[in-house]
Amino acid sequence: MAEPRIPMVPADCGEPAELLAAIRSRRGDGLLNLDRTLLRSTPLARGWNDYLGVIRSGLSVAPLLRELAICGVAVLNGADYEFSQHEPEFIRAGGSAAAARRLRHFEAAADERELFSERERAVMRLTIAMTLDIEVDDAVWQDLQRVMPDAQELVEIVSVVATYNMVSRFLVACRIEPEAAER
């Protein structure tokens, strides 16, 4: 494994105390390697924590669809760290273990009717288009809109895919490794 490109702050750092408390509160426990890297810029870490807090727990889009999209972005961008964080979340949100295993082959999985519903497959196709092509083909959008007609849900799922493309690209560029890699 390659060395991280940016030294992380220590796991037991104490400042800025208010920001660290907010991050730890959102995480439910200690700091992740991602947090420890972001903390090299306090303004960025603060904005990231607030924004990702909304994306993760403040939207109406179904958690299963959110985690499905996040896992897809992670696979498509080669962000193993992101996938390792979100595969368990996908299962907690109601995804099966078989579906979670199949997510590692995301493009092929987007056609699997046995493991994924029509709505899930539409979100997968959106994720593929936004991540690999950026431009979303009209047919992909129309399929998504047919199974997800609510404008708020559409805005939110597009935002989830866009946000986690940002996250994965930050993780990959900085070579941030999963916490288990340190042990």
Q: What token pair was written down for 49?
A: 């924590």
Mean pLDDT of 12-18: 90
DSSP 3-state of 13? coil
Choose which CATH entry (1.20.1290.10, 3.40.50.970, 1.20.1250.20, 1.10.579.10) describes domain 63-174.
Answer: 1.20.1290.10
pTM: 0.93
List the structure tokens of 109. Answer: 């999985």
Q: Please state, in angstroms and rounded to a whole number, the distance separating the CA atoms of residues 32 and 82.
A: 11
Residue-level pLDDT at 14: 85
Q: pLDDT tens, 124-147?
A: 999 999 999 999 999 999 999 999
SS3 breakdown of the chain: % helix, strand, coil, rounded to 5?
A: 70, 0, 30
Instruction: Specify the domain boundaries for CATH 1.20.1290.10 within the chain.
Output: 63-174
* pLDDT at 86 > cutoff 90: yes
Quick one: pLDDT at residue 182? 46
CA 17 from chain centre, in angstroms, equals 26
Averaged pLDDT score across all residues of the chain: 94
Q: Give dist(CA 91, CA 42) in Å, integer.
A: 32
